[in-house]
Amino acid sequence: MTPIFNESNEAIQELPAELQEALKCYDNSRTDSDLDAVIFAVLKDLGPNSISAEISDETNFIKDLGLDSLAITEFVFFFEDVFRIRITNEELSEMNSLGELKAFLKGKLS
Amino acid sequence: MSSRTVVTGLGFITCIGNDQAEVLDSLRGLKSGIREEVFLGNPNLTVKAVGKPLDFEVDSANWRKWKVPQDYFIDSSLKRSLSPHGIYAVCALEQALGDAGLSKEELKDGETGLYCASAGSPLLLHENLTVLRKAKGERGNPLGVLCSIAGTLNFNLGSWLGIRGTNCGFVSACTSGSHAIGYGWDDIALGRQKRAIVIGAEDATAESLLPFSAMRALSTNSDVKRASRPFDRDRDGFVGAGGATVVILEEEGFARRRGAKIYAEVAGWAQVNDGYHRASPHPEGEGLAETMRKALKAAGICPDEIDHICAHATSTPAGDKAESHAIGEVFKGCLDDISVSSPKGLTGHSLSMAGVLELAICCLMLERGFSLGNANLENVDPVCEHLRLPRKSEETVLTWILNNSSGFGGINVCNVLKRYEHR
C-alpha cells in the first residue's frame, strides 16, 4: 500500500509533530489503534482548543465538541487528502460521532 | 446634519511601522518603508521594490507556514479562514481597539458597523482554484471562498467581532479605502450607526502586485528606496505595497460620553467619476477637481481654508500630472499657502488600503502638529511646479486637510479632515 507519510506531500508538510508521528506509526502498523491516534491528532489540530483525551466514541461533533458543519468539512477535506479517499455528502451526513467517523475510515481504508 | 464624526482609534501594520510610534517616526523623519524583493524567485524581473510590513511571514498559500509577531494571538480556526491581508487586518484591529479603549464585547452593541476595503486574495484564490481544477471540480478547500474572495474581511471579521450593525465591503480599486471611510461617515451622519470600524488591507504578494507590472504601471527603479517618487521628474511608476490600517470613527457625543481620545474630525467627503477611461485618469484631472470642490462644500469650507493636501500621487507619470493640474485649478490663488505631499514616497501604493492608511496619517498630522514632506522629491516635474511641495516634514499646526484618492475607472474620492476642537 502507498505510504501515507510522504515528505513531499504538501498536505503533510508543516503538520504538528504529534500528527506527523501518528501518521508515521499508522504507516508502519496499519492497525485500528494507530488509526484512532491519527484521528485524535487531527481533531486536536483542527478542532476546538478544549479537545482532550477524554473524548469517547460517543462524542458527538456538533453537540459535544461545538463544531459546525463547516468545521466538519475541514476534517473531511483533510482525511481525503492524507488517505487519498473520497467522502460523499451522503457518507458525511452519517458521521455524527467520533465512533462513526472511526468506523467509516476503517471501512474505507481496509 | 448636526452630529459630528470623529476619529478615536488607529491601528497600523504597514511597511513604515507596525505601531503608531514607529509610523510617526517614519513620517517625521521621512524613513522609507520600501524594500527589495525577488518576486516569485525570479531575479530577472525588473520590478524589485515592495512595501510590506516587517516581522510577518504570510506570503505562503499554506497557512501553517505563516509567522505572526508574538504580540498577537490568532486562533487557528480563524487563521485558516483568513488571507494574508486578513492576518494583517486582525493585528491592526487589535491595535486600533486598544488605542480607542474599546473591548470586542462593546462592538456587539448594534451601534457599530464594519466597513472593509479589500480586493480579496489573488494568492489564495489561485491556490484554491488550482486544487479545484486539478480535481476536475470534484473537491476543493472548504474554506476557499471565505479566505480568498473580496468579501473575506467582512465574512471573517464581522462574525469574529460579533458585529450586529452594518457589515459591507468596498471594491473600487485604489479608492476603496476612502470609500469605506466615506460610507462609514454617512452611516454615522445619517444616524444609522454610532461607530464605524474601517479596515483597509492588501496582501502585497507577487500575485496581487505583478499583474500591475503587466500594465507597465510599476516602477522598475532598482534603487528601491528611491523608486516611489511622487511629483518628481524621474518617477516611473508606483511601488506596490500592503498590510492593514484600521480607523475607528464615532459620533462625537458617543465618543465623548465614554471619554475617548479624539484624533480629528472627519468633516465631509465626496466622490465623482471621470467617465473617461477604464485605467487612465482624465489628463487634466477633471473628475478629481470636481470631487475636491464637492468635498470642500460638504465640509462647509472654501479652498483657501485648507492647510494641507494629502495627495493621492502614486508616482506614475500620468496620475501625478493629472492630480497636480486638478489641485492647481481648485486652489488657484491660494496654492502658496497649502502644503501638498504624498505619503506614497515612503509607503508605496497600498491600493485598497491606501485611503484608510492616508486618512490615518492625516489624523496623526492634525493631532501631533506636523505636515508630511515629500520623500524622494529631488527635481520637481515642471507640470507640478505650481504646487508647494515641501521636501521635509515640518512641525506646524494644521487645521484643515484634504485627503485625495483616485483609482482605475476614473473613480475619485476625497475626505476632508479637521483638527479636533470641542465646541
Asked whether residue A22 is domain-assigned, the answer is yes
Chain B contact probe: residue of A74, A76, A85 with most B CBs at under 10 A: A74
Angle between helices A32-46 and A69-83 (to 10 degrees): 130
Reply yes or no on whether B174 is catalytic: yes
Nearest chain A residue to B145 by CA distance is A70
- Structural domains in chain A (count): 1
Residue type, A70: L
Give the model's confidence band at A8: pLDDT under 50 very low, under 70 low, under 90 confident, else very high.
confident
Please tell me the distance from the alpha carbon of residue B420 to that of residue B260, in angstroms, as a whole number: 13
HEC string of chain B equals CCCCEEEEEEEEEECCECCHHHHHHHHHHCCCCCEECCHHHCCCCCCCEEECCCCCECCCCCHHHCECCCCCCCCHHHHCCCCHHHHHHHHHHHHHHHHHCCCHHHHHCCCEEEEEECCCCHHHHHHHHHHHHHCCCCCCCCCHHHHHCCCHHHHHHHHHHCCCCCEEEECCHHHHHHHHHHHHHHHHHCCCCCEEEEEEEECCCHHHHHHHHHCCCECCCCCHHHCCCCCECCCCCECEECEEEEEEEEEHHHHHHCCCCCCEEEEEEEEEECCCCCCCCCCCCHHHHHHHHHHHHHHCCCHHHCCEEECCCCCCHHHHHHHHHHHHHHCCCCHHHCEEECCHHHHCECHHHHHHHHHHHHHHHHHHCEECCCCCCCCECHHHCCCECCCCCEECCCCEEEEEEEEHHHEEEEEEEEECCCC
What's residue A1's pLDDT?
60
Please tell me the distance from the alpha carbon of residue A71 to that of residue A47, in angstroms, as a whole number: 8
Residue numbers of chain B with a pLDDT score lower than 50: none
Please tell me the distance from the alpha carbon of residue B23 to that of residue B247, in angstroms, as a whole number: 14
Tell me whether residues A86 and B143 touch, CB distance under 8 A.
no
Domain extents in chain B: 5-257, 268-419
Chain B contact probe: residue of A51, A70, A84, A92 with most B CBs at under 10 A: A70
Domain B5-257: what homologous superfamily?
Answer: Thiolase/Chalcone synthase (3.40.47.10)
State the pairing for strand pair B195-202/B339-341: unpaired
A71-75 average pLDDT score: 89
Q: Please list, residue by residue across B349-361, b when 16 or more beta carbons sit within 10 angstroms of its beta carbon and e when fewer do.
A: bbbbbbbbbbbbb
What's residue A53's pLDDT?
65
Task: Specify the CATH number for the domain of residue A67.
Answer: 1.10.1200.10
Asked whether residue A74 is domain-assigned, the answer is yes
What's residue B2's pLDDT?
67
Radius of gyration of chain A (CA): 13
Instruction: Give the DSSP letter of residue A4.
Output: S
Asked whether residue A4 is domain-assigned, the answer is no
CATH of B268-419, one of 3.30.450.20, 3.10.310.30, 3.40.47.10, 2.40.50.140: 3.40.47.10
Please tell me the distance from the alpha carbon of residue B181 to that of residue B391, in angstroms, as a whole number: 28
What end-to-end distance do the CA atoms of chain B give, in Å? 15
Q: Which one, of B373, B8, B404, B392, lies nearest residue B198 by Cα?
A: B8
Neighbour count for residue B103 (Cβ, 10 Å): 10
Q: Which one, of B276, B273, B266, lies nearest residue B290 by Cα?
A: B273
Chain A contact probe: residue of B58, B75, B77, B130 with most A CBs at under 10 A: B77
Please tell me the distance from the alpha carbon of residue A73 to that of residue B99, in angstroms, as a whole number: 38
Neighbour count for residue A57 (Cβ, 10 Å): 12
Q: Which one, of B292, B301, B247, B302, lies nearest residue B270 by Cα?
A: B292
State the pairing for strand pair B112-117/B195-202: parallel
Give the model's confidence band at A110: pLDDT under 50 very low, under 70 low, under 90 confident, else very high.
confident
Nearest chain B residue to A72 by CA distance is B142
Residue B185 phi/psi, 5-degree rounding, is -60, -45
Nearest chain A residue to B146 by CA distance is A70
State the pairing for strand pair B35-36/B49-50: antiparallel
Nearest to B143 among A14, A74, A86 (CB): A74
Q: Is B365 exposed, middle or buried (0-12, 13-18, 19+ CB in 10 A)?
A: buried
Contacts of B382 by beta carbon, 8 Å cutoff, 6+ apart: B233
Residue type, B168: C
Q: Which one, of A73, A28, A41, lies nearest residue B81 by Cα?
A: A73
Tell me whether residues B75 and A49 touch, CB distance under 8 A.
yes
Reply yes or no on whether B312 is catalytic: yes
Q: Which one, of B167, B163, B250, B151, lies nearest residue B201 by Cα?
A: B151
Residue type, B321: K
A12-16 average pLDDT score: 84
Radius of gyration of chain B (CA): 20
Instruction: Give the DSSP letter of residue A61.
Output: T
State the pairing for strand pair B308-310/B339-341: parallel
Tell me: ipTM over 0.85. Answer: yes
pLDDT digits (tens, 9 = 90+) for B41-50: 999 999 999 9
Please tell me the distance from the alpha carbon of residue A26 to that of residue A18, in angstroms, as a whole number: 12
pLDDT digits (tens, 9 = 90+) for A42-70: 998 988 776 776 788 999 999 988 888 89
Reply yes or no on whether B310 is catalytic: no
Q: Which one, of B158, B154, B161, B190, lies nearest residue B352 by Cα?
A: B154
pLDDT at A3 over 90: no
Identical fold, B5-257 and B268-419: yes
Tell me whether residues A74 and B65 touch, CB distance under 8 A.
no
pLDDT digits (tens, 9 = 90+) for B4-33: 999 999 999 999 999 999 999 999 999 999
Concatenated DSSP letters of A94-106:
T--BHHHHHHHHH
Place of cell 467522502: A87
Contacts of A55 by beta carbon, 8 Å cutoff, 6+ apart: A40, A43, A64, A65, A98
The answer to whether B364 touches B419, Cβ cutoff 8 Å, is: no
How far does the CA of residue B350 sit from the closest CA of chain A (Å)?
Answer: 30
What's residue B239's pLDDT?
98
Tell me whether residues B142 and A77 touch, CB distance under 8 A.
yes
Residue A100 phi/psi, 5-degree rounding, is -65, -40
Please tell me the distance from the alpha carbon of residue B93 to that of residue B32, in angstroms, as a whole number: 24
